[in-house]
Structure 1
Amino acid sequence: MNVCLTKVDVDLLSDAAALNGVTEWLRAKIASLLVNIPLDNTLNGSQRHNVADIFRDTATSLEWIDLYQSQKLMLRALYFRPDGPFLKKKVQEYGRYIDAAESGECEVKGIYLSFPKHPPSPLLQSLVEGSYEHKEAELLTRFIEPDDRVLELGAGIGFMGVTAMMRCNPASYTAFEANPALLPFIAKNMQHNDVVFNVKNAVLLDKPGLQAFYVTPAFWGSSLLQPAEGYFEQVEVPALEKNSVIAELAPTTLIVDIEGGEAAFFRELDLTSVRKIIVEIHPMILGDDEIIEIFNTLISQGFLLDFKASGKQELFWCRSDSKVNI
């Protein structure tokens, strides 16, 4: 088979080279290839492998940015090296990601999830590969018990709530999610997985009213705090007085993942009923003083941090007199 570099290949590599994910070193390799290999001439074995390498490296450099572009590039790499096992594996992998992106559906550890179609690549890959909220789900299944009353802040698409009801069956589970666009996905995920829990579209703050909320393309990054960069939409959501909600629900367990909002949430919070806390800390958003304030608040109210159970940012706290074995 005569294998040639075509104008389509040149255009594909030129477009890719203009994207931010491509390093200067790789841009130089692409430029050298386009100068030194004439179009539509049959390539020898060495040239084919060189071209395949460049298509492969360009594809992998862009897979966190543009999966469709990466798939096109990897398919061309496979054309130039059809027996490449890594290339075959990556083509299949990109195909799985794109199928999930277009359907807005996947399965994570035996749980069906529906989500907004075409999420950014890092979020999509975590869903498809099953690493989405992995540590939080591990802590939840390990420490939540049937007599727990759970309050979750930052429900997202409902994965934690579905996991809790399927794996732990707590006495009650109430989830708050600020992004109104995610509520239909939570409802669909409850229905498909045959579980039910309480879901409210609101945020918990010091005072009731309306609150600005910033929705980002990756739903897991939406926040009460305005992003410093990147695209976002501002919506207004209901705000409820946090201690009134705590008093009404009397939760024994808190699950908190609110993208930097955790500092304000724990400030002057009545934790009398709470025995266990799973919270994700966001050091890229919060300052050191705000993280220290959270730690001081929890320690002063009788909580201990379980270092062995916790992850890097996903922390498990329990009361010093709790029955939980730490």
Structure 2
Amino acid sequence: MNVETPPARGFIRSRGMRVPRHPGITTGRIRAALRAETFERKECEAVMRVVQKGDRVLELGGGIGYVSTLIATQRQARRLVCYEANPALIPHIRRMHAANGAERIELRNALLTPEGGAPLPFYLRKNILSSSLDGTVDPGAITGTVEVARQAIGPVLEEVRPEVLICDIEGGEAELLPAGDWSSLRAAVIELHPQWIGQSGVQAVFDAMHGAGLSYFPRASHGKVVTFRRGW
């Protein structure tokens, strides 16, 4: 099944990067935010503070490829592994990486979970950014279903040994992060979704990072984007 809309030609300039135009992605508010350089601003500012040249970085939730491209081009990470569950975003992410000479990023279309398991159905919608694992939300807008692989977090962390974690997984953080061994981390930038995970979920994320020896870093935290680092 073709899971993407054909891209439009041209690029939008943002933070020194070239973002490929796409009729189903770079529209309306997103286009305006890209041009104003306010798109993912809090996450980008935190990333620029904590990622260092030569870091091993694990990104959970690749989005449109914006943050991973920023890291690759402006922080020169030694290794950058990016997970994105939405298959409709993968072609756009690859185009963005290529357009900015960031082709060495390891992009994986899979969902990380505590235990792994069989593939899960992923529901595609006309609005690409609204595609999700939840088939009960706006079922009339679903245009198709594909299966997305599940991978257990443990083996991935053993393989990558990330020094920096970037995480924006739409509420999955409360279940996934406590299941991982994050002892290799020097820093983490996590977007919280308290509207979905509640106070207990937020506490679970903080406990997971504190358990790995990281402390909350307020200078690089902005609202729901929280940053942790080892030492002071």
2:36 alignment partner AA: E
Could you report, residue by residue, the CA deviation over 1:116-161 in whole angstroms, capped at 9, with x for unpaired residues?
3144633333233321111111111221112310010111221111
Contact 1:225/1:261 (8 A) holds in 2:
no
Q: Which runs of 5+ in 2 are unaligned?
A: 1-6
Kindly indicate whether the alpha-carbon contact (under 8 Å) linking 1:103 and 1:117 is maintained by their aligned counterparts in 2.
no
Partner of 2:120: 211
More moved, 248-257 vs 263-272: 263-272
The aligned residue for residue 212 of structure 2 is 301
Distance in structure 1 (CA, Å) of the matches to 2:126 and 2:15: 24
Distance change >3 Å, CA 160–CA 301, structure 1 → 2: same
Calculate the TM-score normalised by the size of structure 1. 0.62
Counterpart residue number, 2:23? 117
Go from structure 1 to structure 2 and tell me whether the alpha carbon gap of 1:280 and 1:234 turns closer, same or farther (over 3 Å shift).
Answer: farther
In the alignment, the residues of structure 2 paired with residue 259 and residue 115 of structure 1 have an alpha-carbon distance, to the nearest angstrom, of 24
Matched, 1:147 2:58: no
CA change 1:281–1:107 in 2 (3 A) is same
**Structure 1 unmatched runs, 5+:** 1-100
Shift of 1:229: 5.0
Question: 1:228 and 1:147 mapped to 2: Cα distance?
Answer: 41
Larger fraction in strand: 2
- 1:201 aligns to what? 109
Paired residue for 1:315?
A: 226
Report the more deviating stretch, 239-248 or 215-224: 215-224
The 1-side partners of 2:127 and 2:39 are apart by 13
1:162 equivalent in alignment to 2:83: no
In the TM superposition, residue 300 of structure 1 has moved relative to its aligned partner by 2.6
C-alpha displacement at 1:219, in angstroms? 4.6
Cα distance, 1:177 vs structure 2: 1.0
Structure 2 matches for 1:1-326, cutoff 5 A? Answer: 105-119=11-25, 121-196=28-103, 197-205=105-113, 206-215=115-124, 219-220=128-129, 222-225=131-134, 228-229=137-138, 231-232=141-142, 234-319=145-230, 321=231, 325=232
CA distance in 2: counterparts of 1:189 and 1:317, whole angstroms: 28
Measure how far apart 1:221 and its partner are: 5.1
Q: Render the CA deviation track for 1:42-83: whole Å, top value 9, x for unaligned.
A: xxxxxxxxxxxxxxxxxxxxxxxxxxxxxxxxxxxxxxxxxx
Aligned-partner SS, 2:181: coil
Q: Any idea what SS the aligned residue of 2:197 has?
A: coil
Match of 2:4 in 1: none
SS at match of 2:208: helix
Q: Select the structure with the greater relative contact order (CA < 8 A; seq sep ≥ 6).
A: 2
The amino acid of 1:142's aligned partner reads R
Which residue identity is paired with 2:119? Answer: L
- The answer (yes or no) to whether the contact 2:13–2:19 under 8 Å persists in 1 is yes
Q: Could you tell me how far 1:244 is from its partner in structure 2? A: 0.5
Which whole-Å deviations, capped at 9, do the CAs of 1:281-310 have from their partners, x for residues lacking one? 112222221112111222233221112220
More helix by proportion, 1 or 2?
A: 1
Deviation at 1:198, TM superposition (A): 0.9
- Tell me if the contact between 1:271 and 1:301 (Cα under 8 Å) persists in the aligned partners: yes
User: SS in structure 1 opposite 2:158?
Assistant: helix
Further displaced range: 134-143 or 213-222: 213-222
Identity, % of aligned positions: 28
Displacement of 1:227: 6.5
Considering only aligned residues, what root-mean-square deviation do their CA atoms show, in Å? 2.4
Gap change, CA 1:273 and 1:234, over 3 Å in 2: same
